[in-house]
A and B are shown apart, each in its own frame.
Chain A
């Protein structure tokens, strides 16, 4: 089966600019996750969708980050305005059921904020 797709793979922006990332989960997967992975650390959950509803966004910096999952399939994550500390890899993952079991990750988007 096809895996989780993400684009772009790399992005370099200046601070205070905006950026958007796109994710297409594995077909049929109900739950979609966005993670932030800072160099040398494990992924940290930003937001979790079940179908097109938000399950958990407690760690999403809502003053600058937003995400949506229209029609319960693709999702976009936006940062506006970006800060230097947002430099990280943004990983999208999906799982078949409504729990967090067996999450499969996409290749990620490496964001560099200068």
Chain B
């Protein structure tokens, strides 16, 4: 089945700096890669996603890049703010398993 590795597990940045979280996946047939933000005690919220026919997607301060050859994708957050502090999960949709497989999460702390 699909295996998703996510790094780093924790990340601290100063307010205003950029944050980058990276994920790798194992199933070359995977074609959909969402990112979820989960604040403490809250539900995971879909913040951005990308499909395998696109290399990059942006939405205001967040962007996701996908390298299908290397089987990795990354989340970029620019001009970080304290409210960006949360756990971020990447996931991959395996065409073979027809299910989302999640990474273990990255705890992002934005220091004011």
Binding site for B on A (CB under 8 A): 4, 40-45, 48, 55-56, 91, 99-108
Residues of A within 8 A of B42 (CB): 107
B46/A99 in contact, CB under 8 A: no
Interface pairs (8), CB distance under 8 Å: A42-B89, A45-B99, A45-B100, A56-B98, A91-B43, A99-B32, A105-B43, A107-B42
| Binary A-proximity of B97-112 (CB < 8 A = 1, otherwise 0) | 1111111110000000
A42/B105 in contact, CB under 8 A: yes
Question: Contacts A48-B99, A100-B99: A107 and B43 contacting too (C-beta < 8 A)?
Answer: yes
Q: A42-B89, A101-B49 are in contact. List 4 more A-B contacts (CB 8 A).
A: A41-B105, A44-B102, A101-B93, A102-B46
* Chain B interface SS verdict (over half): strand
Most buried by B among A42, A44, A45, A103: A42
Report the interface size class on chain B: 20 to 34
Whether B45 is near chain A, meaning CB under 8 Å from some CB there, is yes
* A to B contact number (C-beta, < 8 Å): 54
Question: Contacts A40-B105, A42-B105: A56 and B43 contacting too (C-beta < 8 A)?
Answer: no
Distance between A33 CB and nearest chain B CB, rounded to angstroms: 8
| Binary A-proximity of B68-112 (CB < 8 A = 1, otherwise 0) | 000000000000000000000101010001111111110000000
Please report the C-alpha to C-alpha distance between residue A103 and residue B102 in the assembled complex, in whole angstroms: 13
B104/A41 in contact, CB under 8 A: yes
- Which one of B4, B32, B43 lies within 8 Å of A101 (CB-CB)? B32
Which B residues between 6 and 49 are near A, CB-CB below 8 angstroms?
6, 32, 34, 36, 42-46, 49
Which residue in chain B gives the minimum CB-CB distance to A44?
A: B102
Residues of B within 8 A of A100 (CB): 32, 93, 98-100
Distance between A98 CB and nearest chain B CB, rounded to angstroms: 9
Which residue in chain B gives the minimum CB-CB distance to A6?
A: B43
- Which 10 residue pairs across A and B have the least CB separation, nearest first? A42-B102, A105-B43, A105-B44, A107-B43, A100-B93, A45-B99, A42-B89, A100-B100, A43-B102, A42-B104
